Amino acid sequence: MQRAYPEKPEQVYFFGTCLIDLFYPEAGMAGIQLLEREGVKVIYPQQQSCCGQPAYNSGYDNEARKVAAAQIACLNEDLPVVVPSASCADMLRHHYPDLFAATPLHKQALNLAARTYELTEFLVHVCKVQLVDHGPAATVAIHNSCSAQRGMKTAQDAISLLRQMRNVAIVQQERASECCGFGGTFAVKAPDISNAMVQDKCDNLLATGANDLVSGDCGCLMNISGALEKRKDKIPAQHIASFIWERTQ
């Protein structure tokens, strides 16, 4: 069942995510600029930090809840919240309500969940963007995170955005839907299994001959491009917001 989407609002919150904050801020800026170009004013609350997912997935619910409560507090006005990561959007949208079940913040968590959108989802369904590609010819492999495919079900939105780009050819990797092995703390807690997964992912991506790798999740990008770099293989990897922004100015 498809989600009911609102009319394009005047302003939105932008929840930047901690990974983007520290390692990929250009992706966050590209997301903000894409939204503003559509005439949507973007509020970036300076009080924000992390959605709490790393602790939540590791089974530290109390710590996750404290951090999540701080995010709920700074995203408190009734505005859409746009998140440039399906994984963190999934946390806000689907796990906050569970995390705060039977607590005084439950209602607020449900309210926040209902107005949380993943960036590509928001661009496609709410802004209904029409992109004009000015970039050179590119062969691109998309890596959709597990959260984009299964939690948020927004994998198709990334694809449809790239399809709007006339000079971009999308290539399909083998076992495209398989997890890259990041899984937040999984990569550190089960490093050998994670490595087996990311090596296979790298092999499949290299086999496509793509000259760009694009994803809506910086966790996966960090994992895949980190592994590629370590093995001295190269496919430039970018967050989809950066990729689109650079080609459409």
Partner 1 sequence: MSRFEPATVNLEFDKRVSDALQDQELRANFRGAMDFLVGKRAAMFPDKEDLEALRAQGEAIRNRCLSQLPELLEQFEQRCTENGIQVHWAETAQEANAIILEIMHKHDATRMVKGKSMASEEIGLNHFLADHGVECLETDMGEYIVQLADETPSHIIMPAIHKNKQQIARLFNQKIEGVEYSEDVDRLIGIGRDVLRQKFFEADVGLSGVNFAVAETGTLCLVENEGNGRMTTTIPPVHIALCGIEKVVESLQDIPPLLRLLTRSATGQAITTYFNMISSPRKPDEKDGPREVHVVLLDNGRSRIYADKQLQETLRCIRCGACMNHCPVYTRIGGHAYGTTYPGPIGQVVSPQIWGLHTAGAITKACSLNGACGEACPVKIPLADLIRRLRYESNNSEPTPVPGPRGQGSLRKRPEAITWKLWALLSRKPGLYKLVLFLATRLRALAPKHIGPWTRYRSAPRPAARSLHELAAQRSQSNASSQEHGRHE
Query: Phi/psi at 84 (nearest 5 deg)?
Result: -80, 45
205 is an interface residue for partner 1 by CB under 8 A: no
Q: Count H helices, E strands: the chain?
A: 14, 8
Task: Kindly give the residue spans of alpha helices, DSSP state H, lying in 115-234.
Answer: 119-121, 146, 155-163, 186-189, 191-207, 218-230
Q: Which is nearer to partner 1, 81 or 138 (CB)?
A: 81
Quickly tell me which residue has 């890596």 as its tokens: 143
152 is an interface residue for partner 1 by CB under 8 A: no
Interatomic CA distance for residues 181 and 199, integer angstroms: 9
Residues in 71-90 that interact with partner 1 by CB under 8 A: none
* Residue among 205, 98, 97 at smallest CA distance from 142: 205
Q: How many residues bind partner 1 (CB under 8 A)?
A: 67
Q: How far is the CB of 85 from partner 1 (least distance, A)?
A: 12
Q: Is 131 helix (H, G, I), strand (E, B) or coil?
A: coil
Q: Which is nearer to partner 1, 113 or 168 (CB)?
A: 113
Q: How far is the CB of 196 from partner 1 (least distance, A)?
A: 5
Tell me if 17 sits within 8 A of 50, measured CB to CB.
yes
Q: Considering only residues 178, 203, 233, 246, which one is a binding residue for partner 1 as defined by CB under 8 A?
A: 178
Residues in 2-21 that interact with partner 1 by CB under 8 A: 14, 16, 18, 20-21
Residues in 10-69 that interact with partner 1 by CB under 8 A: 14, 16, 18, 20-26, 28-29, 32, 43-44, 46-50, 52, 54-61, 63-64, 66-67, 69
Q: In angstroms, what CA-CA distances link 15 with 91, 130, 165?
A: 12, 23, 26
**DSSP single-letter state for residue 117:** E
Q: Considering only residues 177, 203, 234, 246, which one is a binding residue for partner 1 as defined by CB under 8 A?
A: 177
Q: Which is nearer to partner 1, 47 or 130 (CB)?
A: 47
Report CA 16 to chain centroid distance, whole Å. Answer: 10
Binding footprint of partner 1 on the chain (CB under 8 A) = 14, 16, 18, 20-26, 28-29, 32, 43-44, 46-50, 52, 54-61, 63-64, 66-67, 69-70, 98, 146, 149-151, 177-179, 181-184, 186-199, 222-223, 226-227, 229-230
